[in-house]
Chain A
Amino acid sequence: MENNERNNKQISSPVIKPAAKNASLAAFTDSSPATNVAASNATVATKVDKTTEMATTKSAAAPSNGSVGAKAYEMAKAQREISIAEFFEKNRHLLGFDNKRKALLTTIKEAVDNSLDACEEADILPEIIVEVTEMGMDRFKVVVEDNGPGIVKKQIPRIFAKLLYGSKFHKLKMQRGQQGIGISAAVMYSQLTTGKATKIMSKIHPSEPAHCFDLKINTQKNEPEILSETEKDWHKDNGTRVEMELEATYIKGNQSVDEYLKQTAIINPHVTIIYQPPKGEQIMLVRATDQKPKQAQEIKPHPYGVELGMLIKMLGNTTAKSIKQFLMQDFSRVGDKTAEEILENSAILSNTKPHDVSRDKAEKLMEGIKKTKIMMPPTDCIVPIGAELLEKGIKKEVNAEFYAAISRTPDVYRGNPFLVEAAIAYGGDIPKEGSMTIMRFANRVPLLYQQGACAIIEGVSETNWKQYGLQQSGSNLPQGPVVLVVHIASVWVPFTSEAKEAIAHYPEMIKEIKLAVQEVGRELSRYLNKKRRVGDEMKKRSYIELYMPHISEAIKDILKLTDVQKKELEVQLSALLEKTRGKLEDMDFDPDKNEEYDEDLASIGREDEDDEYDDDAGGDYEDKKERASSGKKTKGKEELKESAEKAEKKAKKKKESEDDE
């Protein structure tokens, strides 16, 4: 049991107090002010402005006659609680539920991300089952099942049926989930679109039964509503299973569930995913390595990364007796000397009690922090995928003639350590027309939407690719047969919205992205130069063979040489010319050279080639895409058949080449 508790992340998470929630909001105000409203304790007063808010609290007691504050009283009538459901309805796009296609992807993504995080924290090799079943017109059932540590019974309802409940928000640690919105938002969406409850089954130990819940969210109170609660036998030793129905559309292509799962498998080579799409056969994405990624370490916040609201909250919660002790104990990289310096720069006495620090003083403290030179936070808390595994991943996906991957050393933005990795594939089977394909990842999660708004794209398109041998006009994405993978890992990835689709444009981060893609760009240009040299050399070699006979022939004619003399001349000529040509290396693309390439995997999520072309042209215009991809829902079978044919062809080709030998 003790063991289970340790493995169970949710147990360790504190029950969030309202105060904590308010404070936590401050931390992500910069990315999305709208979520603030929803985030406070289940319901909030409509925020008009500060004065009316004050008026609201008194409105019940105050007499409604008289002209004093009449307007405020009048306004107060319109001020009422917003239910979390109403908020969700209005802001579903912020959470990734803009439309039916995206709702399906987001639901699965949230569940899978949670499973992977849990497995990683519990040091389990993840095996995840995903089932999508069509239940009728625009209605799908989604099942996500993992072999993770499970969730203790008490916590299940709140984890799944209470928004903003989770263990991750208060941790500075490299992990997929961040704020505890995702899966409960999916539950809410399911409930809103189908009226059905979400079924959860979770088991934490072989000797314990599995606990099953049917859950809904009380949308007025943002509290779980338990419809049924039973115990069951489950063949698994431990794990969690989520089953929900929702209004959704299933598509193929760049922004599909298939693509997401595939990219997840590529970027997490230690994961096995068993996926049953609504149509067609089951897809097995088997792990490529048994090596689990190193456990990411949780770190304390760095003073540079803290904002005022967060600081005030931390001051209120600390166990430290003095402000100096608070700085040293609750922050990373603050020792005795640095703490003294900060306090000196803030003009605050070092024995001030943290609870006595006023808002004004806290602001002074912020200024003091800014003035003080503080060592950057430790960066060993970031776990890179590593150049080798990244390259393996991209090799699985594309059959190219050249690959390169790099993993940069960590850097820091606003006190948060982060790290950029990049991999590139060139030529081979990659289509020669069109822009390069970019696969974006943040903390090992594929980013499929909002490409145009993402810092990764900015970093890539602001890089001058011409110097690396690719065509590029202005600061557009370069053209050519290139697939580029960029992975950003951080204890806190700055997304542009809660839907976690694009990375915010922090200069430090863009700089690192550029350095990373430049590094692989240089590798690419080295390869392309070499290829050109070899090409020239090949040309020269053929030149010699083509033209040498004409030299000996002409000299023979002019000097009336005998055939023997001509032969003699040719031998010497040939020897002379051999000397002038360089060594030759075969650089032709050999489709069978890449042993990692998995044709079946690569074809997952892809539509017919023509369709895909349209998709690329459409870019981020999602409406267009929706139109383009609706009505293509029935292609699953044909596609499978096609990929089977391709595999057959490949096998046949291999056999032929063996026969040749």
Chain B
Amino acid sequence: MTDVVKKIKGTAEEIRQNVLAGKKAELETPVRSLNNVFYNEKDGFFELKGQKKKRTLTASTVKTFAQTLRVMSLSKDLVETDDIATKREAYYVSKNWGEARFHEQPESDAVMDDIEAMFGVNREQLGFIADEHGGSVAGELIVIDKDPVSGKELRIDCTKFGSGSYSIPSDVELLKFETKAKFIIAIETNGMFERLNKHTYWKDANCILVSMGGVPTRACRRFIRRLSDEKNLDVFVFTDGDPYGFLNIYRTLKVGSGNAAHINEFFCVPRAKFLGITPKDIDEYKLPSHPLKEVDIKRIKDGLKNDPFIQKYKSWQNALNALMKSGRRAEQQALAKHGLNFVISNYLPEKLKNQKSWLE
């Protein structure tokens, strides 16, 4: 019996015994928000402070209890039969549960997150996987996986996808790696990844390219983390020069998020450095820019005020303040102003060489 199944059974049994004894039945989960995390500088990720919320079974919580137990039951089935369900699939499974069904997927996602936090495991261990694929990889890397049918070892050479790329699977826990590359570049947009891949930039720079496609999925974060840990590789993050790129993408990759703080420990990439585009780059490369949107300004303010990571680093505070002051933001693609391959010929080599231009 796996750990997860034990925990599920233990919880169900405890509730049952309490009910039979006429005692209060309770579920306890850590509070999942930025307010309940601190930045663990030593290990480099957001850690839970330990606030917990207790839900007692009453007339008003009966629905949540029913749904939580239903999802636990589904998870137990999945784990026991060595199956998986995407978050979306799990949502559809709930449609069999009559009145206890979920009306929107975010409801079932939240219940999964709660169970995850309650047990201190990650979603994949519960048998639930992300809906979207984890990101694309290209470069000097061999991923060692297993054939789903025969269970035989599979060696996947990430240099052999031509104009395509390797897709990070939802569960990366059992993958093994072989590489001679020197570092990893994690890229925000697929477009930029395609450009670098097309011109086999990974060969020139002797690196591994990962496309995150916006905020990296858990699988993508875990993949980069494991690869970086096991092969002792530096990670450089290349995003748009805007608060979304800084906070939602880079910060989440590096130290995790408030919402999934219970698993940040495994999903953070403490070695990551921010390569660009920095506010300074916007000036120095004279990049075409757009005015900050209202939501950008809100993000900057929120980051300065509430984000324990930003609060730790003066350089990030300066960067956010500079962006705020200029009121401008620039996309990765803006580099094309100096020629389509300016990014390959000039920007990346210059940035990689100039350690002072990185942000922590």
Contact = CB atoms under 8 A, between A and B. Distances in A.
B70 A572 contact: no
Contacts of A576: 19, 22, 25, 57
Nearest to B20: A572
A577 B57 contact: yes
A555 B100 CA distance: 14
Interface string B53-67: 000011110110111
B69 A554 contact: yes
Interface stretch (B8-16, B128-136, B162-170, B229-237): B8-16
A541 B66 contact: no
Nearest to B25: A576
Contacts of B148: none
A559 B63 contact: no
A558 B15 CA distance: 12
A656 to B, nearest CB: 32
Contacts of A581: 59
B73 A547 contact: no
Given A559-B12, A569-B19, A554 B73 contact: yes
Given A559-B9, A569-B19, A547 B66 contact: yes
A58 B68 CA distance: 104
B232 to A, nearest CB: 43
A282 to B, nearest CB: 57
A577 B77 CA distance: 28
B19 A573 contact: yes
Nearest to A581: B59
A533 to B, nearest CB: 13
Contacts of A558: 8-9, 12, 69, 72-73, 76
Nearest to A568: B20
Contacts of A61: none
A559 B59 contact: no
Nearest to A566: B16
A135 interface: no
A296 interface: no
Nearest to B65: A551
B250 to A, nearest CB: 40
Contact of B62 (A557, A572, A577): A577
Contact of A550 (B13, B58, B98): B98
A3 interface: no
B342 interface: no
B22 A575 contact: yes
Given A541-B59, A573-B19, A581-B59, A554 B25 contact: no
A575 B59 CA distance: 11
B99 interface: yes
A544 B58 CA distance: 9
B76 to A, nearest CB: 6
Contacts of A580: 58-60
Contacts of B63: 543, 546-547
Contacts of B13: 559
B97 interface: yes
A177 B318 CA distance: 82
Nearest to B97: A550
A580 B59 CA distance: 6
B100 to A, nearest CB: 4
Interface residues of A, number: 24
A353 interface: no
Interface string B172-191: 00000000000000000000
A331 to B, nearest CB: 66
A435 to B, nearest CB: 36
A171 interface: no
A541 B60 CA distance: 9
A543 B22 contact: no
Contacts of A546: 63, 99-100
A572 B15 CA distance: 12
> Among B8, B19, B60, B66, which residue has the most Cβ atoms of chain A within 10 A?
B19
A280 B65 CA distance: 65
Contacts of A559: 9, 12-13, 16
Contacts of A548: 62, 66
B20 A550 contact: no
Given A577-B59, A580-B58, A550 B12 contact: no
Contact of B12 (A555, A568, A572, A573): A555
Q: Which label, helix, strand, loop or mixed, suits the secondary structure of the A interface?
A: helix
A577 B15 CA distance: 13
A547 B58 contact: no
Q: Give the bracket for the number of chain B residues in contact with chain A.
A: 20 to 34
Contact of A554 (B20, B60, B72): B72
A97 B89 CA distance: 77
A577 B58 contact: yes
A576 B70 CA distance: 20
Interface string A559-585: 100000000110011011100110000
Contacts of B59: 540-541, 543-544, 577, 580-581
Interface in B1-44: 8-9, 12-13, 15-16, 19-20, 22, 25
A559 B19 CA distance: 15
Contacts of A577: 57-59, 62
A550 B25 contact: no
B66 A550 contact: yes
Contact of A544 (B22, B25, B62): B62
A555 B15 contact: yes
A551 B69 contact: yes
Contacts of B60: 540, 543, 580
Given A540-B60, A555-B12, A558-B12, A572 B19 contact: yes
Contacts of B67: 550
B69 A555 contact: yes
A167 B77 CA distance: 95
A626 B208 CA distance: 85
A312 to B, nearest CB: 73
A555 B97 CA distance: 14
Contacts of B100: 546-547, 550
A154 B65 CA distance: 90
A541 B62 CA distance: 10
A559 B11 CA distance: 10
B59 to A, nearest CB: 4
A575 B18 CA distance: 13
A543 B15 contact: no
B305 to A, nearest CB: 33
B58 A555 contact: no
Contacts of A544: 59, 62
A573 B61 CA distance: 13
Nearest to B71: A554
Nearest to A561: B16
Interface string B91-112: 0000001111000000000000
Given A554-B70, A554-B72, A554-B73, A547 B62 contact: yes
A54 B8 CA distance: 108
A550 B15 CA distance: 14
A550 B69 contact: yes
B66 to A, nearest CB: 4
B75 to A, nearest CB: 10
Given A543-B62, A557-B76, A559-B9, 15 more contacts: A540-B59, A547-B65, A547-B99, A547-B100, A550-B97, A551-B62, A554-B12, A554-B66, A554-B69, A554-B72, A554-B73, A558-B73, A568-B20, A572-B20, A573-B19
Interface of B: 8-9, 12-13, 15-16, 19-20, 22, 25, 57-60, 62-63, 65-67, 69-70, 72-73, 76-77, 97-100
24 contacts: A540-B59, A541-B59, A543-B62, A543-B63, A546-B63, A546-B99, A546-B100, A547-B65, A547-B66, A547-B100, A551-B15, A551-B65, A551-B69, A554-B70, A554-B72, A554-B73, A555-B15, A569-B16, A572-B19, A576-B19, A577-B58, A577-B59, A580-B60, A581-B59
Which 6 interchain pairs have the tightest Cβ spacing? A554-B69, A550-B66, A580-B58, A550-B100, A540-B59, A547-B66
